[in-house]
Amino acid sequence: MRPPVVRARSVGAAMTVDDRPVRVGLVVGDNLDLAVRADELAVDSLWTGGHVASRNPSPEVMMSLARLSAVTNRVRLGTSVLLLPLYPPAIIAKQVADLDRATGGRLMLGVGVGGEYPQEFRACQVPLTERGRRLDEAIGLLRRLWTGQEISHDGRYYPMRDVRVHPAPAQAAGPPILVAGRTEPAMRRAAVLGDGWMPYLYSPRRYAASVATIRAVADEAGRDLRQFDWCAFIFVNVDKDGSRARQEAARSLGGTYDQDVRPLIDRVAAVGTPDEVTRRLRDFVAAGARHLLFMPVAGTGDPGAVTRILLEEILPDAF
């Protein structure tokens, strides 16, 4: 059984839709000062990503997760995302079990296939074309390793005999595994293997379509999604000058993805004035999202100011 949802201290009481809480997450990366402050704010979860060998400098995700675990006490912690095909599953199983125990069962594991930086796969000596199949096998293997019992596994990529990874995580079934991605194979993976869905660079319309697809696949597979975590990773920038908010967000995302995102910014992010951002977030909730993960993209602006406006001015009255 999964642990109960950690309710937001001031936001969560008002943030219910169809009797289901809308939870608030912040992507803080390696910003430990923000993580410490957020542990006392109206947020439910903190998230960090990272790469092994990306085009832009970045931390490694498991090291970043460990740093967050050391400076927080209440908030849940997740990876957004761990490119699981790059790692031996037994190493990840051990690291996650240790951190879950150290945090009292506060971990969530967002996983994805990656591929936008092929050099990472070359560096880790993992064929790029195998990443989806490796992820599928690794998800089930992690759960078996997290039982703390001795197991044998005859999979194609990670065969092992008489292996016991213990002690087990604090969470009895292991941390929930949330599947990230943007494609139909990722949706099917979430529906069949995952504990949640976490797409990014999605519009509310596309999010609603993905919800319908995942529900259909889960029905076909006989899966019950009542405890499924419907996450949405949302890039956000807010300013009283809506045009400036869009320009700063487009500049930030354009640098990250090395492309001009200005024509797409209103579709794939929540940007603009406070009223515009509020309407956008309501659209995501109406589309089925119940766990909103916010990534401030302030460009040359102040991401701390974006976070403050979001938490203090927008979210308390948004839902």
pLDDT of 158-205, one tens digit each?
999 999 999 999 999 999 999 999 999 999 999 999 999 999 999 999
Asked whether residue 270 carries a pLDDT value surpassing 90, the answer given is yes
User: Considering its fold, how many domains does the chain have in total?
Assistant: 1
Give domain status of residue 210, yes or no.
Answer: yes
Q: Is residue 207 in a domain? A: yes
Q: What global pTM score does this model have?
A: 0.92
pLDDT value at position 6?
31
The residue segments making up the domain with residue 243 are: 16-317
Percent of the chain whose pLDDT exceeds 70: 94
Q: Within a domain: residue 11?
A: no
Please choose, from the candidates 63, 73, 47, 139, the residue with its C-alpha nearest in 3D space to the C-alpha of residue 95. 63
Single out the residue of 139, 124, 235, 122 nearest to residue 186, CA to CA: 139
Residue 134 lies in a domain: yes
pLDDT at 302 > cutoff 90: no
Percent of the chain with pLDDT strictly greater than 90: 84
Residue 6 lies in a domain: no
Confidence of residue 68 (pLDDT cuts 50, 70, 90): very high
Integer Cα distance of 21 and 12 in angstroms: 7
Q: Is residue 54 part of a domain?
A: yes
Bigger pLDDT: 18 vs 284: 284
Report if residue 148 sits inside a domain.
yes
Assign 66 to helix, strand or coil.
helix
Taken in order 192, 196, 202, 203, the sign of the CA dihedral is positive
C-alpha closest to that of 175 among 201, 203, 194: 194
pLDDT at 8 over 80: no
The predicted pLDDT at position 14 comes to 39
- Residue 9 maps to a domain: no
What is the CATH classification number for the domain harbouring 168? 3.20.20.30
